Homo-oligomer: A and B are copies of this chain.
Amino acid sequence: MKLPAKTVQRLSKYRRILYKYRYLDEPHIFSHDLARLLNLNPVQIRRDLMLIGGSGNHRRGYHVKQLIQLIGEKIDSEKGRKIVLVGIGKLGQAIAEYLSDREMFQEVIAVFDIDPVKVGKTIYDIPCYDIRDLSRMIKKNKVSIAILTVPSDYAVTIAELLIDSGIEGILNFTSVRLNTPESVFVQDFDIVTSLEEMAYRVSRD
């Protein structure tokens, strides 16, 4: 069964909340508490959890650890587990640090840059390689997702290299539009453009 994108997004968010309680002894949680923490509708949450086969208990709610496992079985896969991050400027570094702190099934296994000062070092425990090793490393480790934080001038060239090497999903933090084959998923996170667009909208509406 293929789940709708929105459902996967919500399951991912539920799990992030549940992770916080997993070290308790036999933790349980009610859908309305989960709803409150994520500002969602409890009916929606119960429907999502029913869809993946989760069942709560009237008295205690859902079993947290069982739910974490169940969500993982539905949305995780070895294929999307390994991530590379390309471009260790300020933003790249910040994202590497931010992710190193998160509870997530996925793992940033390598970062890449052209700066000889960075190459060969580790950044938040992640090894930094020369960008010339990008293709080899992606293929060798069967990586399918990349975070792109290079300067705009390099975005198209690096994206092409990523796709040629087997990458199927790109989180694009550059301001450049990537024209990728349909089989590749791109999500744009262009902070400056979003802020400028927002400024335009708040001033006209």
List the interface of chain A (C-beta within 8 A of B). 2-3, 5, 8-9, 12-13, 16-17, 37-40, 75-81, 83, 90-91, 93-95, 97-99, 101-102, 104-106, 144-145, 147, 152-153, 155-156, 168-169, 171, 175-179, 183, 185, 187, 189-205
Which of A8, A40, A77, A192 has the most CB atoms of chain B within a 10 A radius of its CB? A192
Please state if A201 and B185 are interface contacts (CB–CB under 8 Å). yes
Residues of B near A12 (CB, < 8 A) are 192-193, 196-197
Closest Cβ of chain B to A167, distance in Å, is: 9
Residues of B near A77 (CB, < 8 A) are 199-200, 203-204
Closest Cβ of chain B to A2, distance in Å, is: 6
Q: How far is the CA of A80 from the CA of B8 in the complex (A)?
A: 34
Please state if B95 and A95 are interface contacts (CB–CB under 8 Å). no
Please state if A13 and B193 are interface contacts (CB–CB under 8 Å). yes
Q: How many monomers of this protein are in the complex?
A: 2
Residues of B near A93 (CB, < 8 A) are 94
Please state if B102 and A192 are interface contacts (CB–CB under 8 Å). yes
Q: How far is the CA of A105 from the CA of B193 in the complex (A)?
A: 11
Closest Cβ of chain B to A139, distance in Å, is: 15
Residues of B near A16 (CB, < 8 A) are 152, 175, 192-193
Closest Cβ of chain B to A195, distance in Å, is: 6
Q: List 12 A-B contacts (CB under 8 A).
A: A8-B197, A9-B193, A38-B152, A38-B177, A39-B177, A77-B203, A94-B95, A94-B97, A104-B195, A104-B196, A171-B195, A183-B205
